[in-house]
Amino acid sequence: MSKRTRRQLTRAQRLTVIYGVVCFVLVLVVLQLWLLTATVNAWLGDDDGVVWPALAASAGCLALNIGLLRSFLRR
Amino acid sequence: MPDPTNAADPDAGFAPTRDPDDVTVAPDGRPMDEQPRWRQDFAIDAPEANFVARRDFAKFLVLISGAFVAGQAWIAAKSLVRDRRPKPGRMRIASLAALPTGSATMFAYPGDHDPCLLIRMPDGKLLAYSQKCTHLSCAVIPEIDRGILRCPCHEGVFDLATGRNIAGPPPRPLPIIELEVTGDDIYAVGVKATTT
């Protein structure tokens, strides 16, 4: 989205976009919670195979969340 | 210099435009002159305040997201440490003669604080499991006649023949203690934990 378009959004439109961003961040956080519980369960069951992929996936979610937060704070 | 307020100016689009609904609004939406005096004195733009609340909420969510990554990293670090730990050794735990069929005895393996159960089934088969329930580490009780191991704390039930969690809150089977029988002696030689 260009600066020109963004500045022409009304507050109601910006709010809609922001609600979408917050919902997406919330979904990613819930996904991370599920990943963490599944990883703990697997690790306690002596299954180390999922530990590193789960860490990478969770870190990817964090990176996405930070990117979304930055775009959110610019609005 | 172009006038940013002039709509006919082609460069005016880069200047901030005033949003028609970008005004101070009370929480009930009524005009300010209909609001009580105290609110007129301390006017708060409710939509703007909500926006700040959403921004703080988003920041909090990202903080939680970072905490989850820290948790995953902690598990990964613990996994590396566990991989480097030596395997538990071979340890004599009982003699066959001292364990009649249909009975069970306790032992500690691999450490002194790892209680385990050695069970001799009615058909003579030997089984051994960690005694710590996989839910909250209460001690499980063998009920050989019913073919189960029961955790009395939260009514968790494990299958006696396999150690699988079959009822209640336990999320995983009981860790299996690998056994070896040499003559009349029973040895524990390893621990096998599974997720299913």
Chain A: residue whose CA lies nearest to B76: A51
N- to C-terminal Cα separation, chain A: 12
Q: Which residues contact B138 (CB under 8 A, 6 or more apart)?
A: B132, B151, B152, B153, B154
For residue B139, the SS3 value is strand
- Mean pLDDT, consecutive 10-residue stretches, chain B (196 aa), reads 48 53 70 83 74 83 97 96 87 92 94 94 94 95 95 96 95 95 94 86
- pLDDT confidence of residue B193: 87
- pLDDT confidence of residue B127: 96
- Inter-chain CB proximity B195 and A58 less than 8 Å: no
pLDDT at A37 over 90: yes
- pLDDT confidence of residue B161: 94
- pLDDT confidence of residue B36: 86
pLDDT at A70 over 70: yes
- pLDDT confidence of residue B85: 84
N- to C-terminal Cα separation, chain B: 73
- Considering CB atoms only, which of A21, A43, A69 is closest to B75? A43
- Residues in chain A with CB shorter than 8 Å from the CB of B23 are none
Q: Does A65 touch chain B (CB under 8 A)?
A: yes
Largest CA distance in chain A: 55
- Considering CB atoms only, which of A12, A22, A32 is closest to B58? A22
